[in-house]
Chains A and B, each alone.
Chain A
Amino acid sequence: MSDIPMRDTELQVSGNRLAGIVRSIARHRVLAVSAFLLLFPLIMPYEALAVNILIFGLFALGFNLVFGYMGVLSFGHAAFFGIGSYATGIAIVHLGLSWLPAILLGVAGAGVVAMIMGGMAIRSRGIYFAMVTLALAQCVYYLVYQMSDWTGGEDGLTGVKAGEINLGFFEFNLVDPTAKYYFMYVFVVIAIFLFSRILNSPFGAVLEAIRENENRARACGYNVLLTKWYAFVISGLFCGLAGSLNALHLSVVPIESLHYHLSGQAVMMSLLGGMGTFFGPFVGAMAFLLLEDIITTMTTHWPLFLGTIFMIFVLFFPKGIWGSVLHWMKR
């Protein structure tokens, strides 16, 4: 946990061109990831998978703020993803709003839930924090499950159609997969930019200070509890946006978007990609979903293969894929 690979200071290795490239990527990380994602659908087998990676990359990115940068393990992030999805879905299906207010409502809904959950959970630490967030997320799950008039309950919320989107100068339909990808792309790039700004701000530095030594951060005069709560809520907002986009992507909101299994996936993606690194969550989401996609079409015994691959990563590459790449570059 002590190494913070994305800081320039640690990358100043001379005489290594690769390190130079990595350094320039690190310096322009928003630009780099935007450029990569711009070309991304071209190297993917199909657009829906690219959209999935985009959405789950954003989800893991938001989760990573709390997990990787602040060092607090939450098992309740599915609640933010799910509420983002449901709020957007309900805005479109029941309230008849158009896509932009629906997305904003999704993000806001996730924010409100994060405020409440954070307020209740933030005083506990370590495994207790994980358990409290898990329990609260399960409460959200059952609440939504029971409100079947609004949410569709077991059947999920269907009919979430944004359909034709008219920007005044440009019209497109989300049924077209390429248009859908670039529609999502715009939101994700804005989110990544904001995320980078947050990390680079003094606030971001305090987060890492809390991760390294909470008592010292407190002794320095920072309000640790409040900072943790802010981070939790901000993280919830990003995950809410991911959920909101997912509702538009699938045109349904399945009940499992609130399931704790999804919270586990966020942990897995962050670990696989490299927690506490900027690109890690996207790399993790890509590796996870791509592997899953390829292996499930080849064999019905896919959990066996995926499990083995995860174990290899946890045992031999504890820094995750991107974390390990950074580590090798530095040597």
Chain B
Amino acid sequence: MSRKLLLKNDHIPGIAALKTYKENGGYTAMEKALKTMSPEALLEEVKTSGLRGRGGAGFPTGMKWSFLAKPEGVPRYLVVNADESEPGTFKDRYLMERIPHLLIEGMVISSFSLGANSAYIYVRGEYFYVSRILEQAIEEAYASGLLGKNILGTGYDLDIYVQIGAGAYICGEETALLESLEGKRGNPRIKPPFPAIAGLYGCPTVVNNVETIAAIVPIIEMGGAEYAKIGIGRSTGTKLISASGHINKPGVYEIEMGLPVEEFIYSEEYCGGIKGGRKMKAVVAGGSSVPILPTELILKTAAGEPRLMSYESLGDGGFITGTMLGSGGFIVMDEDTSIVKNLYTFSRFYHHESCGQCSPCREGTGWMEKILHKILEGKGTLKDIDLLWDIQSKIEGKTICPLGEAAAWPVAAAIRHFRPEFEAYVTNPESIKDVKHYYRLNPTV
């Protein structure tokens, strides 16, 4: 089921340049939007499309836009979240690097609909080279009258700026991102008020993921109703999946929502199966924070239905037997992988990235990292496994922002599905001697 909307022109050499982008139909959706549609009509198309936030939360984009306060005389902002930092996720980087004008076109349409005259792209600091690509594309757009004053003679003005971060996962949380954009520490804000009411500089603001804003272009091109026919159920359209780990063909793939997970992993069109012909042990389907699932549950739901790449199907069974589509960061692990060691890399990550504002997260993430380290060193006890469970349950739901959940869920899921492996570490290390703690570089396998 191959259907490309965002990456349909990805194969064309030079598509990053404005000239080539335009020759291949670029900026026609923007022209249609600005010249023939009202901001309200655009919002209706986005609502009709069923588009849901592609950063991870899956919140309906049209609804988010409709919450935007519009007080007289107060500027509104569109902020694009390009802080992509969820381990396993690299699709926004790919999109911005390959087709920067798709994001810019989506931003002009979105800003016009929201009534914003300034928009920012907040790019994670490590993607500095990507920010340069974006700046170059923005310059081209200004020079062609696609940005700036009186765009295409319509009287609409928009300025787009690129802002770089400086290394902080937490800035992917929208209010932390806004704090950072204001030149402060990336401490998430207490909500309400939500950014739609008081966002950047206290003004009404919409923060959307790169892929979400890029998807506005095909939605306006084909109309929301047509877009909604693509995909399955409430998971409309296509999704960029970042595939990594022990697969033959890692990379960014655009899939139509509803593609069977098994097809995604094993078909030559996508991941091409597991490296070295080995068996699969587990998958983290939507970035590091979503629950890990063992092979039998990622391929089929608890009811025995084939698992599909969609918000609903991946979520089927809740956190007991299901997971989340999340950011689409799809990490595959082969049969030899130590689930405990992999979890340790996640917990170390969350400990490093906790902003320190809320004690359950600041302290709890460190405790979880330490306990996992102790277990890996063969010094753990059965009680430590219960303690891990206890700590994660006391972080979840008790913090200002979802980093608490993001740190807790992977721990809970690993214990839920792989408890015998944790127990083997402390009671019978001999039985897990084939599990790999250390992956050697072996490009030929």
A binds B: no
B residues apposed to A, CB below 8 Å: none
